[in-house]
């Protein structure tokens, strides 16, 4: 498969996956998700790969969100299908038998924050920003965000962040448990590699089983509910208005219907 939206490299048994759409602040579109799924499958049983780092191209953004232009005209059935596909790919990351770290360099918003949360750990640069601002578009997180944010930071904080759409900085993300570490931008990948080197000295089967058991602590049926409600959003006026306003660079006029 020809890859055009990702940069990949295997360095010292660590597989680097870089979302490479800097013109769009590395926003996730169908092509990125398809290629990401293919890359993960290709390295799953590759003996030369013991771990992975996912990051974004450039210094401004890890992933600034989903590609709203692709979502704006979906109906509820199509949107639910998109949600389920995204959830499946992010669950592949979450359940990957080899440790995966998100190196969050800049904006991790919407789908980007969801991608980071699907990784086993998050190391943030000092300029990183996290947020799930979907309610400002009349939508909700659709790639597992409602479930994973609640698991990581607790119900109260998760509801506040998701219902306000507030964006928080790296230090605040660290304080509430969303980020594992905060480091200067030029030390970001070094810190990720330091963690992975330590894990690499441990028994790989034990590491894989630890990841599996940590994930099994949470029920999975919330994802199905999320996909259904994500799809239902696309039958609302507010979602159509919110996405249109975003694309037209104006303030949305929500009517609650």
Q: Which two tokens stand for residue 162?
A: 């998701």
Q: Which two tokens stand for residue 103?
A: 């190196």
Q: Which of 101, 105, 10 is nearest to 53 (CA)?
A: 101
Q: Are 103 and 53 in contact (CB under 8 A)?
A: yes
Q: Which of 50, 63, 45, 67 is nearest to 16 (CA)?
A: 50
Which residues partner with 125 through β-bridges?
183
CA dist., res. 257 & res. 239, Å (int): 9
CA dist., res. 190 & res. 127, Å (int): 16
DSSP for 26-89, please give it. Answer: T-B-HHHHHHHHHHHHHHHT-TT--EEEEEESSSSEEE--B-HHHHTT--HHHHHHHHHHHHHH
Beta strand 6-11 pairing with 14-19: antiparallel
**Active-site residue list:** 114, 134
Q: Are 131 and 141 in contact (CB under 8 A)?
A: no
């Amino acid at each position: 498969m020809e890859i055009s939206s990702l940069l990949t490299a295997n360095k010292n048994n660590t597989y680097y996956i870089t979302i490479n759409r800097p013109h769009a602040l590395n926003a996730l579109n169908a092509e990125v998700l398809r290629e990401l799924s293919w890359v993960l499958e290709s390295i799953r049983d590759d003996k030369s790969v013991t771990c992975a780092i996912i990051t974004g191209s450039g210094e401004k953004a890890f992933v600034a969100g989903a590609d709203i232009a692709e979502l704006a005209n979906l109906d509820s059935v199509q949107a639910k299908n998109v949600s389920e596909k995204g959830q499946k790919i992010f669950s592949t990351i979450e359940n990957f038998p080899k440790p995966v770290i998100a190196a969050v360099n800049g904006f991790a918003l919407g789908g980007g924050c969801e991608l980071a949360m699907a990784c086993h750990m998050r190391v943030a640069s000092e300029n990183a920003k996290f947020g799930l601002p979907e309610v400002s578009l009349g939508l909700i997180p659709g790639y597992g965000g409602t479930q994973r944010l609640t698991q990581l930071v607790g119900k109260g904080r998760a509801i506040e962040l998701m219902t306000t759409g507030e964006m928080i900085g790296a230090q605040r993300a660290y304080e509430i448990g969303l980020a594992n570490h905060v480091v200067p931008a030029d030390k970001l990948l070094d810190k990720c590699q330091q963690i992975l080197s330590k894990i690499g000295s441990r028994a790989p089967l034990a590491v894989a089983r630890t990841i599996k058991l940590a994930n099994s602590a949470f029920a999975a049926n919330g994802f199905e509910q999320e996909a259904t409600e994500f799809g239902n959003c696309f039958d609302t006026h507010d979602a159509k208005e919110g996405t249109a306003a975003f694309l037209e660079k104006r303030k949305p006029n929500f009517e609650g219907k």
